Structure 1
């Protein structure tokens, strides 16, 4: 009832931007933990504001904007105050004390703008606002730049999400990995940890869907709990206006003229989201003042400076950094004319795995000074392998693969890098293309790309391409991978079905950036396969919306001819 009276009061005064707060008693901090900020469209954003009592002068403000409402948030906001800022934590509409419906992604850009505007008019703000945070908090920072507010002076996004391309789908393939996330963030005003941590429940649902063969759109019916956000997202299998409206798109990046520091990881699940912003910012704003730190980090590891052992891999000691310390050094640099963080010796700062060193270059393109173009040939290279060679085959030929999409006794495309280093790979399906050993040390630096030439008997397929280093001891070190839908390969905003039995070029480039020094005697291995497993939609190839296809659409097996002029391009530093 208390919140209802608050809202009625705000509606009566009719202010364009209003706030209600209660002040908690604290000997060190002035804390306003129940602030409600009214947006232009009449919603309310819940916020916490913390200032040091011994400083009553206007100060720069550090804003975090998130959907993750937790009791521990006050600690993070106090930390900003301790470092000479006003700390503000604001939440997606509907969270904490906001009376509105929780709606992930859709309103955060506009709401963040309104929060920034409100902050900029407060007596305790000196007109300079910076933002930082990871994952969803990284997304919300970029959402805030879609309409730049003059008071926003810098952002520091870690492993930033990009709705529609990373979560809930990757290269137009819907994934099951975050199915429960919508319940976790929307079931209550804080977080439903019981639901979010119930891996047994969600794995059982995933397996039940896989075994039943029902349409992907009915996956929540099988589980028994409607997932309204998934259903909304499934209406947009292309990267259409629905997704484009959430973050800067194309030339909207041109007006982002504030300094940006992005932090990401080679093994961050959402890396293709985070680096999208980096690439597009540079593409559309040639003078972008944008720095990147990237190394052997996972999604959570990048937000805390790395992990000594990452998915079984002992990372280089130099890769372990202090993300929070670097963040505040950057904020001091921009908002207080402080010293630039020592690690930022150039725009792109990346750790070379295996070399135990950081390198610094002015652009992503400058990470490499050459590339290997390697062809996926039909020539045998031992029992389990085909040759991966720099020489383009003189005569066109192909490898045949047949996949029964109705068969639930087998699955295809084991691409996820956990563990990063394996002693063996499952070679029961797909094709494995192996290069000659390197005669000297060489470094991979960048994101691999390529083009698959293929013909199929259906109208579509989902493809997996995984890149490994085969080390001299015979173990497999996963470097990067691609997962994507063939019909969106040329344009993620519009579906273009394949013509059955016609040879088509399927380009791919949205892969994960990585840097690693390969030793003498190492080889490169490319694994090419169809994606068919319980972790993502199954594309039966009819040309219908994949979310509506069922196991009954499998009919005859998918028959693929992989042509030997298919290739990958691997950026290297010689």
Structure 2
């Protein structure tokens, strides 16, 4: 684990280490805030002592992670004793129309007397002797045939490994094969999380008649959440292409080399080199990253991977989506749901969502999320729900009683589930808060009415500066004692006069002008509690030139006022207590964890610190606002 090389050479800043976790990948970086300068001897001893304590802390954390990983590995890697009741085919092959050969595994009970439905998981994560066999056993134990098929080049397939690109068509090949087997009753369902959630939607792009339902959990949408978020390429999962692409199974050694990829990010940051050269900084070429960088727009390359636009209208099968408020890929996952219902309003699409992260949602929740205690009632048996749903769709049994309406959600700060017929029905009114500049006080204001006492507030960002980063937006910790005030703009509302539910994703519009042709920015929403703590309620990072159309870049005109819509934000349900305030943290995005948009108008991947000769000047205008979806509290949810 490397230490920020200039952390204690900044006497005017108080710096502390923060752990960020993005889709399961843990990253440390420094957050700095202004402080009174220390004298030289004090700085020396403070630096030495702090470095020692940090080394101890990091060592303890790494040992903890290693123990946790090893214990978990022992749990999933112990050989599974199938006994004599099962029939396993662990060398299954499928031939595609274009001549490729896929591989997979099949497990069923030997005593099946009649054809039965099949549950399929299509995945790039090849773990045939670990979790995959356990998944197949879980399926077979519930009276289904279980099939796991792998992406091209994985497991026993000798093809080139291709993340995303052919998974939809390949999954349909497997579905077609299953439907023609003597043990199949012609019905196929799919389930799984993250990448395996994406493959379900990819298979549904052209619906095979045998596919009867899908259960996507925290589903990824290529080009929307990873490897880029709202057209901004982000770094936390940089190593993923090596993890899945280096070998037929998984390259855990490379994936677990946290120090290598942390150093890569900061070395790239300090070098000022173009983002396209980040793999040269690492020292190992990353061909898949280079392929993805050729598609900075959400173009046909990305659109062809999963349902897009009107293609959602032909998805007429029931869908059960499971997600979490703190899932990094939530925007992707819920975009599938929103698009499905937009193009097919009569679709039977259910949602279960609660206070979970990316991995917690795939387990039905966890008792602790980061440092946050989760109410026991928010936890549910995800296997029981999934298979009850399968029984409902495939065997005609009762719908799971857990699904009391189309949207089933557990608010943070409450003790029971709530239910609504739609996402919009989660709230009963909308509160608009205007970002009101106020340089006379320590912080700007959020006001329910438009007040123009000052037309705009100016923000200046030096992209050549590598001592300071901008935009601390990630929800780790979720509950914190303070927020970064070293740069960016902070807007604070008046306190709420009663408890209320924040129920939905925030939206809004920013009004701004810049002296360049483009910029990246972030908006983070907090609850400031009466006790003075900051609870992370959601965030968005955006590239201004793609806000009106992610598929086509539209550069800004320098010094011309433009409107920037806020739409791709995360949904949350949380009880806001009487006396709490809403805080909006607005900042330009400039850090080591994503592309740096220098604003020239060139492909951002080709820009470098050589394009930072002019500082960015942003004027944030009065009239900008955020919309909050709220629900008045009643005794019976």
- Cα drift, residue 381 of structure 1: 7.8
Q: Does 1:57 align with 2:114?
A: yes
Is the contact between residue 454 and residue 505 of structure 1 (CA under 8 Å) also seen in structure 2? yes
Q: Deviations over 1:309-333 (max 9, x none)?
A: 1121112221111111110110111
- Cα drift, residue 76 of structure 1: 0.9
- Cα drift, residue 396 of structure 1: 6.1
Q: Deviations over 1:423-471 (max 9, x none)?
A: 0111010010000000001111111011110111111110100000000
Aligned to 1:283: 342
SS for the counterpart of 1:96 is coil
In structure 2, which of residues 316, 322, 337 is the aligned counterpart of residue 263 of structure 1? 322
Q: Does 1:115 align with 2:178?
A: no
Q: Does 1:43 align with 2:100?
A: yes
CA distance in 2, matches of 1:228, 1:141: 26
Q: Deviations over 1:221-273 (max 9, x none)?
A: 11111101000000000100000000000100000000000000000000001
SS for the counterpart of 2:306 is coil
In structure 1, which of residues 295, 301, 317 is the aligned counterpart of residue 360 of structure 2? 301
Q: Deviations over 1:522-564 (max 9, x none)?
A: 0000000000000000000000000000000011111111001
CA distance in 2, matches of 1:302, 1:395: 45
CA distance in 2, matches of 1:59, 1:357: 37
Aligned to 2:611: 553
Is the contact between residue 202 and residue 305 of structure 2 (CA under 8 Å) also seen in structure 1? yes
- Cα drift, residue 60 of structure 1: 0.5
Q: Does 1:519 align with 2:577?
A: yes
CA distance in 2, matches of 1:382, 1:32: 70
Q: Does 1:160 align with 2:219?
A: yes
- Answer with 373-382 or 116-125: which moved more: 373-382
Runs of 4+ in 1 over 4 A off after TM superposition: none
Is the contact between residue 437 and residue 454 of structure 2 (CA under 8 Å) also seen in structure 1? no
CA distance in 2, matches of 1:318, 1:498: 48
Is the contact between residue 381 and residue 434 of structure 1 (CA under 8 Å) also seen in structure 2? no
> How many residues are treated as equivalent by the alignment?
550
The 1:382–1:394 alpha-carbon spacing in structure 2 relative to 1, beyond 3 Å, is closer
Matches within 5 A, 1:133-172: 133-172=192-231
Aligned to 1:490: 548
Is the contact between residue 381 and residue 387 of structure 1 (CA under 8 Å) also seen in structure 2? no
SS for the counterpart of 1:252 is helix
CA distance in 1, matches of 2:444, 2:366: 36
Q: Does 1:436 align with 2:436?
A: no
SS for the counterpart of 2:600 is coil
CA distance in 1, matches of 2:374, 2:493: 25
- Cα drift, residue 213 of structure 1: 0.5
Q: Does 1:310 align with 2:363?
A: no
- Answer with 374-383 or 465-474: which moved more: 374-383
Unaligned 5+ segments in structure 1 are: 1-23
- Cα drift, residue 393 of structure 1: 1.9
Root mean square deviation, CA, Å: 1.1
In structure 1, which of residues 453, 457, 464 is the aligned counterpart of residue 522 of structure 2? 464
SS for the counterpart of 1:144 is helix
Q: Does 1:67 align with 2:67?
A: no
Aligned to 2:475: 417
Is the contact between residue 113 and residue 144 of structure 1 (CA under 8 Å) also seen in structure 2? yes
Aligned to 1:96: 155
CA distance in 2, matches of 1:92, 1:252: 23
Q: Does 1:215 align with 2:274?
A: yes
SS for the counterpart of 2:331 is helix
- Cα drift, residue 357 of structure 1: 2.2
CA distance in 1, matches of 2:578, 2:316: 44
SS for the counterpart of 1:400 is strand
CA distance in 1, matches of 2:553, 2:436: 29
- Answer with 260-269 or 354-363: which moved more: 354-363
The 1:480–1:282 alpha-carbon spacing in structure 2 relative to 1, beyond 3 Å, is same
SS for the counterpart of 1:318 is helix
Q: Deviations over 1:9-55 (max 9, x none)?
A: xxxxxxxxxxxxxxx99511111100110011111111101110111
SS for the counterpart of 1:357 is coil
SS for the counterpart of 2:410 is strand
In structure 2, which of residues 380, 393, 418 is the aligned counterpart of residue 359 of structure 1? 418
TM-score (norm 2): 0.85
SS for the counterpart of 2:438 is strand
Is the contact between residue 296 and residue 319 of structure 1 (CA under 8 Å) also seen in structure 2? yes
Aligned to 2:85: 28
Is the contact between residue 436 and residue 452 of structure 2 (CA under 8 Å) also seen in structure 1? no
CA distance in 2, matches of 1:182, 1:288: 35
